[in-house]
Amino acid sequence: MLAAFVLSALPIVSSGCGDTASAPPVGDSPPPVSVAPARAADPRHMTVSELRERLKAANPGFTGQLDARRVAGEIRSLDLYQSGVTDITPLKGLPLRALDLTGLPVEDLSPLEGMPLRVLILEGTRVRNLTPLKGMALEVLKLQSTPVTDLSPIYGMPLRELNLMNLPVEDVGFVKDMPLETLWLVGTRVKDLSPLRGKRLVSLDIQDTPVADLSPLRGMTSLKRLNIAGSAVTDLTPLEGLALERLIFTPERIEKGLPIVRNMPSLNRMGIGRSFETVMPPAQFWAEYDRAASETKSSSGGQATAPTDPRTEGPTDGPSSTSRDSLRGAPPADRSSDAAAGRGDRA
């Protein structure tokens, strides 16, 4: 009887003691389960296929055309020429060192802010504001035929190559402390080259500018390529002692110093105007010059004229094929070859 009583009482005792967990009080809810938020993919490790999909989603006109190079699992170089891209937001966060946007209707560069870019090609884009580039350590910047008017964001950059072709630039004083080797000023309003004095330029293009005085170039023995065609230069004497290899100029405008370039042994290519298809060896250039001079004198007793160039209807200012060479690491010597001279490396 006792055993039966004890056994029947156990459930009652057990339910009243504190040895087991009791049900939560009415009205309380179980503690929330902590769930880690989904982590966004790190753009530094984006694949080329993923980038192509993102560009397609952001750009209805994207053609799928791109040239990307990966290093250590990261996209470091990107060429979007002829891609139809207008929105570069998908590039945000990429560890790009080189980017070519030639000819694209891109306006906003803010996705590039903070990138470790060294080469940036913006030729023919609609970019006006360079503020997102401020503080970058760019070495190559090409702004040809863009609506940029404020260059202050690039002040102090360690630029080696700078293309300001067809920009409304009047003063290049800001380049004084840049380690420039190549400078394009074609079609600008620049008159004074004094900020270039003492620099170690290799290539200078001042075609169709109001520059008249070449004296800041005096003693610049590093200079190999010079284009002064269509400028206001009439005196070549500051070029004495230089070792130019290519010279583009307008002989009929020269009043002083022509024998200096005629007797410059380092010259291997000469031309008279805007078309680089007519650049020729010095012997051929002077033979044509002398023949034209002789014909002019014999027919009218006039002054000598330069060799005629039937293909100089306008400057060859189209997007540079050498922009893509820059991204692919072509050495400066390759970019200055005769094949490239007609477009990117004008001087």
Element (H, E) at 270: strand 269-271
User: Among 22-36, 114-128, 328-342, where is mean pLDDT lowest?
Assistant: 328-342
Q: What pLDDT shows up at residue 272?
A: 87
Q: How confident is the model at residue 293 (pLDDT cuts 50, 70, 90)?
A: confident
Q: What pLDDT shows up at residue 305?
A: 52
Q: How many residues does the chain have?
A: 347
pLDDT tens for each residue of 186-196: 999 999 999 99
What is the C-alpha separation between 188 and 126, in angstroms, rounded?
Answer: 18
Given a cut of 80, is residue 38 above it in pLDDT? Answer: no
Cβ count near 232 (within 10 Å): 14
Q: What pLDDT shows up at residue 55?
A: 97
Q: What pLDDT shows up at residue 112?
A: 98
Which among 332, 335, 326, 330 has a CA at the least distance from the CA of 117?
Answer: 326
Longest dimension (CA), the chain: 150
The mean per-residue pLDDT over the stretch 325-347 comes to: 40
Which among 221, 215, 281 has a CA at the least distance from the CA of 247?
Answer: 281
State the burial class of residue 273 (Cβ atoms within 10 Å of its Cβ: 0-12, 13-18, 19+): buried
Cβ count near 71 (within 10 Å): 10
Q: How confident is the model at residue 315 (pLDDT cuts 50, 70, 90)?
A: very low
The mean per-residue pLDDT over the stretch 172-192 comes to: 97
Task: Identify the DSSP state of 256.
Answer: B
| Sequence-distant (≥ 6) Cβ neighbours of residue 200 within 8 angstroms | 179, 181, 220, 222
Q: For residues 109-125, b (16+ Cβ closer than 10 Å) or e, as one string?
A: bebbeebebbbbbbbbb
User: Among 6-10, 125-129, 211-215, 321-325, where is mean pLDDT lowest?
Assistant: 6-10
* Full DSSP string of 55-104: HHHH-TT--S--EEEEETTEEEEEE-TTS-----GGGTT---SEEE-TT-
Given a cut of 60, is residue 3 above it in pLDDT? Answer: no
pTM: 0.77
Q: What pLDDT shows up at residue 35?
A: 45
Given a cut of 70, is residue 30 above it in pLDDT? Answer: no
* Full DSSP string of 122-177: -TT------GGGTT---SEEE-TT------GGGTT---SEEE-TTS-----GGGTT
Q: What pLDDT shows up at residue 180?
A: 98
pLDDT tens for each residue of 203-248: 999 999 999 999 999 999 999 999 999 999 999 999 999 999 999 9
Q: What pLDDT shows up at residue 220?
A: 98
pLDDT tens for each residue of 135-146: 999 999 999 999
Q: How confident is the model at residue 42 (pLDDT cuts 50, 70, 90)?
A: confident
Query: What are the structure tokens assigned to 77, written together?
Result: 């170089």
pLDDT tens for each residue of 52-95: 999 999 999 999 999 999 999 999 999 999 999 999 999 999 99
Q: What pLDDT shows up at residue 21?
A: 44
Q: What pLDDT shows up at residue 306?
A: 53
Find residue 226's DSSP bridge partners. 204, 247
Distance of CA 176 to the CA centre of its chain: 20
Q: What pLDDT shows up at residue 32?
A: 57
Q: What pLDDT shows up at residue 25?
A: 52
Domains, the chain, with CATH or none:
43-134 (3.80.10.10), 160-307+324-347 (3.80.10.10)
pLDDT tens for each residue of 247-292: 999 999 999 999 999 999 999 999 987 655 679 999 999 999 899 8
